[in-house]
Amino acid sequence: MTWTPPEPMLAVTVPDPVLPQGWAAEPKWDGWRALLSVDAGRIVLRSRKGTDLVPAFPEIRSASTQLPDATALDGELVVWESGRLAFERLQGRLHRRGTGAARLAAQWPAHFVAFDLLRLTGTATARWPYRRRRAALVDLFAEQQLTAPWTLCPSTTDPRTVREWLTWTSTGLEGVVFKKLDSPYEPSVRGWRKYRVRETEEAIAAAFTGSLAAPRTLLLGRYDAGGHLRYVGRSTTLPQAAGRNVGQLLVPAGDEHSWTGWTFSAGWGSREPLQVTLVRPELVVEVGVDVARDSAGRWRHPARWRRARPDLTPEDVSRFEAGAVGN
């Protein structure tokens, strides 16, 4: 029977980049989380949401022969371009198959950055403490002499190294992840901690203007502590290519939406209503925002479009904490 990867262990966001005593730190990569296993020549490559990624990443499938049988890894799929992590090169991969996937794999090959070991030649390792899993992962790379696309994620207990990593944002490093040295791997549990260098914010696309084929702007929300979806702001005009890509990820909500019946202003201080289409609040997007807020805590200026994050879920987005928000 083929081994099924567990749900991934998760992290809670912390505001402080200081490395706690008894913890190790790893870089937080700008890529897609993925769990991988190899059994008798069969590879399973699954996204955090459970999507089968094998057809989209033939270069990973081909390289799986480097790994010993009955072995499973947790890691991040990344693409390097011109000395930086190019997340946008991953976005076009998910729905590609066959010759299309092979062409992209040759043009912008992905790497699998391994940061945890869940199984080693048939032995379950998830209950081992992190320090033991980490040592076994290092030995696996050395003994198998793994080469690209396999990459060993760095790990450190030195606070000075953590501070240095946090200066690498220009290469696509998002921050750091902290892992307790004596903790096991616990599926679905937010037992790790992550610190992100804050240059962007995440929100949930809950409505759009324009057409579904090419949305013009997005209306963004966040859930509050009570589970209510609050409006936080509107995006700048989407680039045409981004609009077309985002449109494929949005699903109209009909009348079953917490914003049903709301009206939105066409602009700051304007009384003209904005024509919007509500969508299921499922897609997470990344935007750039400034510090200007209105009295309700909403972004006063349009949020600058950065990218869609279909690899994240609404639960990953920070909660709205400024109190009730009207429409």
**Which CATH number goes with the domain that contains 213?**
2.40.50.140
Among residues 144, 166, 196, which one ends one of the domains? 196
Among residues 170, 196, 222, which one ends one of the domains? 196
Average pLDDT over the chain, rounded to whole?
A: 90
Could you tell me if 217 and 123 lie in one domain? Answer: no
Could you tell me if 76 and 21 lie in one domain? Answer: yes
Where residue 2 falls among pLDDT bands split at 50, 70, 90? low
Among residues 169, 196, 223, which one ends one of the domains? 196
Q: What is the pLDDT of residues 133-186, one digit of tens each?
A: 999 999 999 999 999 999 999 999 999 999 999 988 778 788 899 999 999 999
Q: Does some domain include residue 63?
A: yes
Q: Can you give the chain as a three-state secondary structure string?
A: CCCCCCCCCEEEECCCCCCCCCEEEEEECCCEEEEEEEECCEEEEEECCCCECCCCCHHHHHHHHHCCCCEEEEEEEEEEECCEECHHHHHCCCCCCHHHHHHHHHHCCEEEEEEEEEEECCEECCCCCHHHHHHHHHHHHHHHCCCCCEEECCCECCHHHHHHHCCCHHHCCCEEEEEECCCCCCCCCEEEEEEECCCCEEEEEEEEEEECCEEEEEEEEEEECCCCEEEEEEECCCCHHHHHHHHCCCCECCCCCCCCCCCEECCCCCCCEECCEEEEEEEEEEEECCCCECCCCCECCCEEEEEECCCCCHHHCCCECCCCCCC
Could you tell me if 175 and 218 lie in one domain? Answer: no
The reported pLDDT for the residue numbered 295 is 61
> Which residue range(s) make up the domain with 150?
10-196
- Please state the pTM of the whole predicted model: 0.70
The reported pLDDT for the residue numbered 103 is 94
User: Whole-angstrom Cα distance, residue 194 to residue 233?
Assistant: 25
Where residue 224 falls among pLDDT bands split at 50, 70, 90? very high
Could you tell me if 169 and 218 lie in one domain? Answer: no
Q: Pick the range with the lowest mean pLDDT from 80-84, 124-128, 186-190, 323-327.
A: 323-327
Q: What residues act catalytically? A: 28
User: Whole-angstrom Cα distance, residue 320 to residue 123?
Assistant: 43
The reported pLDDT for the residue numbered 323 is 39
User: Whole-angstrom Cα distance, residue 94 to residue 79?
Assistant: 13
Q: What is the pLDDT of residues 226-237, one digit of tens each?
A: 999 999 999 999
Number of domains the chain is built from: 2
Burial zone of 19 (CB within 10 Å; 0-12 exposed, 13-18 middle, 19+ buried): buried
Is 87 or 269 the better-scoring residue by pLDDT?
Answer: 87
The reported pLDDT for the residue numbered 82 is 82
